Amino acid sequence: MENLEQVHLQVKEIFYPPEDIKKECIVQDYESMYKKSIENPEEFWSEVASQLHWFQKWDKVLEWNFPYAKWFVNGKTNITYNCLDANIEKGRRNKVAYISVDEEGNEKKLTYGELLEQVNRLANGLKSLGVSKGDRVSIYMPNTVEAVISMLACARIGAIHSVVFAGFSEGALKLRINDAKAKVVITATYTKRRGKKIPLLPIVKEAIYDLDFVKNVIVWDRDRELEESEFSKKFVSFEELIKTSSPYFNPEVMDSEDPLFILYTSGTTGKPKGVLHTVGGYMVNTYLTTKTVFNIKEDTVYWCTADIGWITGHSYIVYGPLLNGTTIVMMEGVPVYPHPGIWWEYVDKYRVNVFYTAPTAIRMLMRFGDEIPAKYDLSSLKILGSVGEPINPEAWLWYYKNIGRGKAVVVDTWWQTETGAHMITTLPCYPAKPGKAGKPLFGVVPDIVDKEGNSLPPNTIGHLVIKKPWPSMLRTCWGEPERYEKYWKEIPGNVYSAGDLATIDEDGYIMILGRADDVLSVAGHRIGNAEVESAIIEHPAVAEAAVIGKPNEIKGESIKAFVVLKEGYTPSAELVEEIKETVKEVLGAIAVPDEIEFVDKLPKTRSGKIMRRVLRAKELGQELGDISTLED
Ligand code: WTA
């Protein structure tokens, strides 16, 4: 990490929250609240959980049988009761829950009362198709409120949802549906990007044609363009199902440790991991982090630009904000269409107070110039969130100055699919250091250690670990408990290994530097090197492939692939295009390599493992490091 020095130089300046924001902060004294959460977790979490509705109170806050945790043991609840019914009981029936907009300004608003009704109807609809508690339902939907209704309807009946990002293609979708053995798939005819319709239904059809366990596909026919004949016993209309089902439904009583959802995420092997989250702990921590990190008040208007296909969408478009009864903006489309000021136009239009996005988007929008955001009234903004990858100080400052206009605070939130909720950040009441995520949130005990698990002194690069269980931690990897256990066994000391490199400074601020393992971060999306490699190998001409990440100013990393062709094939521009097309089909556009280089062979260890590290060092003109294990 040769540029660490430079980064440290740039982040010397400390930014204090403006007085008016500080005054409004729900958490005024981070230090003492944090201390309590660590010294007296039982009492701390009991107090937080008591702010939510439980059909039956828990007996014990935590049962820790390394590496398996149970939180709020024997507590009974339903997360949707807290997301919906509880808000209505608090007088929010007519409060807008979602403003779901597309790129063209078409909007759909749903109040808490309306959302509850829609969710109940779909819950009844799912039941009528034979879905019950514990069954899996895959959701392959555009980033619209219909996707949210689908997720909540599952949670209402106790079915486990598995949302698949609608940018993934049929190979990736099939793998996920198959692994979860989903009984039902919920999809739409299309999603929209840059004004174009991107079909979804045909992809689902291809993905499931030989998966007999998929009993039904529920299709949201957005423009009512499907012929009557396209519906059948198997293919059911989303709108009809909602229309013809009862608006009343008693939420299933769920044990705190019953599964809530599976979300697949990239690991170091070709097959993604099905990260499993359970009801109680996930609910309590997404509730608390949303409230404290984004300082949610009764009149807050909140916008997270993520997609429901990722964990950020799950925790911070759906569950966390709903648990806090807030008004949520969500958008289908890209940040630059129909013009690169569309996000700021919507911030202005909806008077957004909390805006949460990824550094890759900030870096991209920066390029269009300061004049673009300057055209809009962004004075409603109070909190600007960042997530998904390290935010470089330059982007941090641009966000702070040109979007927040120096009157909003930036919260850089570090967390993962596995952690379920924010883990490290700088709360809005607390002084921020650009480029450093900040301090641990409540109940989180991080450390920076070497490979043997020894704590490292300040400003030394090491592995980020978490030393104690936390409520929203993953409980297992679906069907692969050994992969779950690996997180806790990777580094000695019974600690959770995050797979990230980080440093901590004298003041206890943590700076995340990037992944320590073979996982890429492309435009904030997590993609495994091995996933891309196995997609490339599906092309009939390819014998072997190795994929590396190269630093990229906007996307964080870009993908370069080294490809060895089979006998009888010669490198050509057509082959490059064909291989890219293969990756697009197997995984989706986000995983397509930017560069493909044909080589005669790949550097390998004597045991046959491809040394991506060597390829990367060569590509970037760096020292090769230890190559003693290299084959030749
Ligand atoms: C990276 C996304 C630096 C990190 C919520 C982590 C970050 C991976 C930050 C998880 C941040 C996330 N600063 N890096 N604020 N937030 N990351 O599972 O490498 O899609 O391990 O979850 O994103 O990605 P995931």
Q: Which of 387, 411, 425, 441 to mutate to test the pocket of ligand 1 (most atoms within 8 A of CB)?
A: 387
- Within a domain: 120: no
Q: Which of 319, 526, 529 to mutate to test the pocket of ligand 1 (most atoms within 8 A of CB)?
A: 526
**Ligand 1 proximity of 389 Cβ (cutoff 6 Å):** yes
Average pLDDT across the chain, whole number = 95
399: pLDDT strictly greater than 50? yes
User: Strand locations in 341-433, DSSP E?
Assistant: 354-357, 383-387, 409-413, 424-425
Question: What pLDDT sits at residue 524?
Answer: 85
Atom of ligand 1 nearest to the CA of 512: 3
Atom of ligand 1 nearest to the CA of 437: 15
What is the pTM assigned to this prediction? 0.94
Supply the residue whose CA is at minimum distance from atom 13 of ligand 1.
Answer: 390
User: Strand locations in 158-286, DSSP E?
Assistant: 160-163, 184-188, 190-193, 196-199, 216-220, 235-237, 254-255, 259-265, 273-278
**Ligand 1 proximity of 596 Cβ (cutoff 6 Å):** no
Query: What distance in Å separates the CA atoms of residue 609 and residue 595, rounded to the nearest whole number?
Result: 22
Q: What is the DSSP letter of 401?
A: I
* Among the listed residues 47, 71, 67, 68, the one whose alpha carbon sits nearest the alpha carbon of residue 59: 71
- Within a domain: 616: yes
Query: What distance in Å separates the CA atoms of residue 440 and residue 34, rounded to the nearest whole number?
Result: 8
Question: What pLDDT sits at residue 10?
Answer: 56
Q: Which residue has the tokens 């509880």?
A: 86
- Ligand 1 midpoint to CA 231 (Å): 41
Angle, helix 30-39 to helix 41-49, in steps of 10 degrees: 110
- Within a domain: 136: no
Supply the residue whose CA is at minimum distance from atom 14 of ligand 1.
Answer: 389
Question: What pLDDT sits at residue 306?
Answer: 97
Query: What distance in Å separates the CA atoms of residue 377 and residue 345, rounded to the nearest whole number?
Result: 8
pLDDT in tens, 460-485: 999 999 999 999 999 999 999 999 99
Number of domains in the chain: 1
Query: What distance in Å separates the CA atoms of residue 54 and residue 221, rounded to the nearest whole number?
Result: 37
- Within a domain: 75: no
- Within a domain: 174: no
CATH of the domain at 598: 3.30.300.30
Say what percent of the chain tops pLDDT 90: 87
Give the ipTM: 1.00
Residues 285, 290, 291, 294, CA torsion sign: positive
Atom of ligand 1 nearest to the CA of 417: 18
- Ligand 1 midpoint to CA 498 (Å): 10
Question: What pLDDT sits at residue 632?
Answer: 63
**Ligand 1 proximity of 526 Cβ (cutoff 6 Å):** yes
- Within a domain: 602: yes
pLDDT in tens, 81-122: 999 999 999 999 999 999 999 998 999 999 999 999 999 999
Domain of residue 526: give its range: 518-620
Which pair of tokens denotes residue 213? 């366990």
Cis peptide before 540 (omega within 30 of 0): no
Q: Return the higher-pLDDT residue of 601 and 301.
A: 301
- Within a domain: 154: no
Atom of ligand 1 nearest to the CA of 526: 20
- Ligand 1 midpoint to CA 412 (Å): 10
- Ligand 1 midpoint to CA 628 (Å): 32
Query: What distance in Å separates the CA atoms of residue 235 and residue 216, rounded to the nearest whole number?
Result: 6
- Ligand 1 midpoint to CA 379 (Å): 29
Confidence band, pLDDT 50/70/90 cuts, at residue 2:
very low
- Within a domain: 127: no
Supply the residue whose CA is at minimum distance from atom 6 of ligand 1.
Answer: 416
Mean pLDDT for the stretch of residues 325-333: 98
- Ligand 1 midpoint to CA 445 (Å): 17
Mean pLDDT for the stretch of residues 582-608: 90
